[in-house]
Amino acid sequence: MAEYISRGVFRLNTPVKIESCASVVGDKEAQGPLGKCFDKVVKDSHFGRNTWEQAESRFQLEAVSIAVNKAGLVKEDIGSICSGDLINQCTGSSYGLRELEIPFLGLYGACSTMAEGLIISSLLVESGVSLRAAAVTSSHFSTAERQFRAPLSYGGQRTPTSQWTCTAAGAVILSQKKGTAEITGGCIGVIADMGISDITNMGSAMAPAAASTIKRYLDATGTAPEDYDYIVTGDLGTVGSKLLIEFLKKQGVDISKQHRDCGAMIFDSKTQDTHCGGSGCGCSASVLCGVFLPMLEKGSIKNILFVATGALMSTMSLQQGESIPAIAHLINIRSNKNDS
Amino acid sequence: MAEYISRGVFRLNTPVKIESCASVVGDKEAQGPLGKCFDKVVKDSHFGRNTWEQAESRFQLEAVSIAVNKAGLVKEDIGSICSGDLINQCTGSSYGLRELEIPFLGLYGACSTMAEGLIISSLLVESGVSLRAAAVTSSHFSTAERQFRAPLSYGGQRTPTSQWTCTAAGAVILSQKKGTAEITGGCIGVIADMGISDITNMGSAMAPAAASTIKRYLDATGTAPEDYDYIVTGDLGTVGSKLLIEFLKKQGVDISKQHRDCGAMIFDSKTQDTHCGGSGCGCSASVLCGVFLPMLEKGSIKNILFVATGALMSTMSLQQGESIPAIAHLINIRSNKNDS
């Protein structure tokens, strides 16, 4: 059973183990500061397929396959899989995972998908529905750019607050038994909308959602930022990260020492021309799987909050004059390396 | 705890109660054979808003609000809400439910969303994460038609196998305590793709997924069609329903007596020019909430399988030569009217 702490905030009485994880990234991500952390680098943006959408599907499939292999499992061992992405109707997920024939739950949480998938997967495992459950997500620069912004060949100038959608995927396999990192609880996000409608300033749109979720979790669990090695946000980028820290400071919470942002970490903005940093579902998923989970598994860090943030607009909602609703889901991951 | 029966198939040791439900439909749906069953009819396809997308958002909000009111609750009583729809990036859900400030999990299961939402919501309640959880979904003829097919003013001829996307929403509130209908188990669907790529023949694309899910559930639970009053599919329409019954007959399962299809039920195809019937997430959601749940609550039927089916393609995936992957999720709902 899970323990209800407050609305949307829960603790798992029996933590769910992270049995395995994998990250697959594109060439630009591999050239960034975290380049050596990922399991696989795919230099071809088409990943051997005919279209970028098909390539993104293959990124997801590859991430799941590597994670399954690393755990010494076969796909039949995975009881359910939660997945979503940014492409219209989440086709990166459904076409990518179709051949696996694993019971499939499709999600849409924009770039918050990895945390959402981990929340739902951890409940599937904890409740006993699935002996093992996987969470996976992906993004692709070229599929996102042409869907949300402009044709790539248009060569539009990028604004200073813009972020670069990562070509990447991350997959995590959860189980009841094995793993030196474990999910102990989480917080389901509430939609926050502060009226921002600039699609090239997503960090600012998402920062209030991240602040709200982190504050709700800390308050409900009676913990403070110092109780965590890192408080990792999804892809606020540099502008959004600064705002998040300011928002929380105004509410009496200082996370400046613990805070890391996957979007701010994945690129070197000075040399890689990525402005405010990386974004996309695959950004936080690959950085979680490539950087933070390995540290937890080794025991070099003990306790983190992973807070993936998503902007829930569409091009049509913005054309109709709407602002950008955002959400952030949180999971608490601990190392049990020295406990066992 | 849930009991694992087989991969993706589970039984809830403590059934989750359906505390309340609500359905809201458009004018055409109200003129159909089920017209008197729904909680609210909205004659204006814009529902007082400026755009159809905004109208669809309001359908969801209205369905949730009515369900909350019927149960004598306020929105703060709802611990989490699962929602998704067909509009790109599921904006019907995120914009529609934004003002509720309920912890929100976005789903994408195309027209299977209501069953997917009920599976996840039932686990949220059963595990203790949420004291009450809501599942809601919607569709709108005009948002779907212009997004997936052609501008409405184009006036394209509809093919005989096409279905009519319902303008409708349905919402269900689950709880641990109150309710004379209850969810006892379910089956997470596996993606099925038989190579169909005709967007005007969705019933045929989805029938194999429905057959697979129903067969898996019956086999795993050792039950037969006769154990159920109805086996209700989402929106296969008349062509897809015929195929489903044939597929299962070839596998030795005859559901012809128990089978009902929400898409085939909601319109009178002879007088309403809807060809194969209704479709859209809101179709099965509104028929479940308007027709089947009230019968279970009254005790006039005792046990049903609700199998919502979804087609997981996008316009771009079809333009790229892909076929239509489909999925069907199942929940088992019983009446406990005379037990209590």
- Residues B171 and B185 placed together within one structural domain of the fold: no
> What pLDDT shows up at residue A208?
97
Q: Coil, strand, or helix at residue B209?
A: helix
> What pLDDT shows up at residue A339?
65
Is B188 in Cβ contact with A103 (below 8 Å)? yes
> What pLDDT shows up at residue B155?
83
- Tell whether A112 is covered by a domain: yes
- Residues B206 and B71 placed together within one structural domain of the fold: no
- Tell whether A110 is covered by a domain: yes
How far apart CA B69 and CA A271 sit, in angstroms, is: 56
B250: CB partners within 8 A, 6+ apart: none
Please give the model's pTM, rounded to 2 decimal places: 0.98
A169: CB partners within 8 A, 6+ apart: A23, A24, A25, A56, A59, A60, A62, A63, A136, A137, A138, A139, A282, A285, A286
- Tell whether A340 is covered by a domain: no
> What pLDDT shows up at residue B1?
80
- Tell whether A52 is covered by a domain: yes
What is the residue-level pLDDT of chain B in tens, covering all 340 positions?
898 999 999 999 999 999 999 999 999 999 999 999 999 999 999 999 999 999 999 999 999 999 999 999 999 999 999 999 999 999 999 999 999 999 999 999 999 999 999 999 999 999 999 999 999 999 999 999 999 998 888 888 889 999 999 999 999 999 998 899 999 999 999 999 999 999 889 999 999 999 999 999 999 999 999 999 999 999 999 999 999 999 999 999 999 999 999 999 999 989 999 999 999 999 999 999 999 999 999 999 999 999 999 999 999 999 999 999 999 999 999 999 876 4
- Residues B192 and B236 placed together within one structural domain of the fold: yes
DSSP code for A35: G
How far apart CA B139 and CA B281 sit, in angstroms, is: 5
How many Cβ contacts (< 8 angstroms) between chains A and B?
A: 203
Is A316 in Cβ contact with B53 (below 8 Å)? yes
- Residues B193 and B68 placed together within one structural domain of the fold: no
- Chain B CB within 8 Å of residue A304 CB: no
**Which of B7, B78, B212 to probe by mutation at the A interface, max A CB count within 10 Å?**
B7
Tell me how many domains chain B contains: 2
List the CATH number of the domain containing B267. 3.40.47.40
- Residues B228 and B285 placed together within one structural domain of the fold: yes
Instruction: Please list the residues that pair with A302 across neighbouring strands.
Output: none
Q: Which two tokens stand for residue B338?
A: 């005379």
- Chain A CB within 8 Å of residue B157 CB: no
> B71 with B173: CB under 8 angstroms?
yes
Angle (CA) A174-A261-A275 rounded to 5° is 130
Instruction: Please list the residues that pair with B137 across neighbouring strands.
Output: B84, B170
> What pLDDT shows up at residue A157?
87
**Which residues constitute the domain of residue B235?**
181-335
Is B4 in Cβ contact with A98 (below 8 Å)? no
Rg, chain A, Cα only: 18
Identity of the residue in B84, B98, B317 whose CB atom sits nearest the CB atom of A325: B98
Above 80 in pLDDT, residue A79? yes
Contacts of B2 in chain A (CB under 8 A): 127-129
A339: CB partners within 8 A, 6+ apart: none
- Tell whether B340 is covered by a domain: no
> What pLDDT shows up at residue A1?
80
> What pLDDT shows up at residue A338?
72
> What pLDDT shows up at residue B156?
83
- Residues B117 and B194 placed together within one structural domain of the fold: no
Q: Coil, strand, or helix at residue A26?
A: strand
Contacts of B319 in chain A (CB under 8 A): none
Q: Which two tokens stand for residue A169?
A: 């995927």
- Tell whether B258 is covered by a domain: yes
Residue in this structure with the two tokens 């199942």, named with its chain if needed = B330
- Residues B186 and B151 placed together within one structural domain of the fold: no
Contacts of A4 in chain B (CB under 8 A): 79, 128-131
- Chain A CB within 8 Å of residue B53 CB: yes
Which A residues, 257 through 276, put their C-beta within 8 Å of a C-beta on chain B?
none
Q: Coil, strand, or helix at residue A303?
A: strand
- Residues B190 and B151 placed together within one structural domain of the fold: no
Is A8 in Cβ contact with B94 (below 8 Å)? no
> What pLDDT shows up at residue A138?
98
Distance of CA B73 to the CA centre of its chain: 24
- Residues B155 and B194 placed together within one structural domain of the fold: no
Short-list A61, A21, A64, A24, CA closest to A178: A21
- Residues B212 and B171 placed together within one structural domain of the fold: no
> B293 with B183: CB under 8 angstroms?
no
Tell me which of B115, B140, B175 is where a domain ends: B175
Short-list B114, B101, B73, CA closest to B306: B114
- Chain B CB within 8 Å of residue A104 CB: yes
> What pLDDT shows up at residue B10?
98
- Tell whether A192 is covered by a domain: yes
Residue in this structure with the two tokens 């913990």, named with its chain if needed = A223
Q: Summarize pLDDT for A22-62 with one digit per residue, the tens.
A: 999 999 999 999 999 999 999 999 999 999 999 999 999 99
Instruction: Flag whether the ipTM exceeds 0.95.
Output: yes
Mean pLDDT of all residues in A275-300: 97
- Residues B12 and B144 placed together within one structural domain of the fold: yes
Above 90 in pLDDT, residue A314? yes
- Tell whether B99 is covered by a domain: yes
Identity of the residue in A105, A123, A317 whose CB atom sits nearest the CB atom of B188: A105
β-bridge pairing A9-26 and A40-42: parallel
Between the two ends of chain A, the Cα-to-Cα distance in Å is: 22
Above 90 in pLDDT, residue A181? yes
- Residues B14 and B150 placed together within one structural domain of the fold: yes
> What pLDDT shows up at residue A166?
98
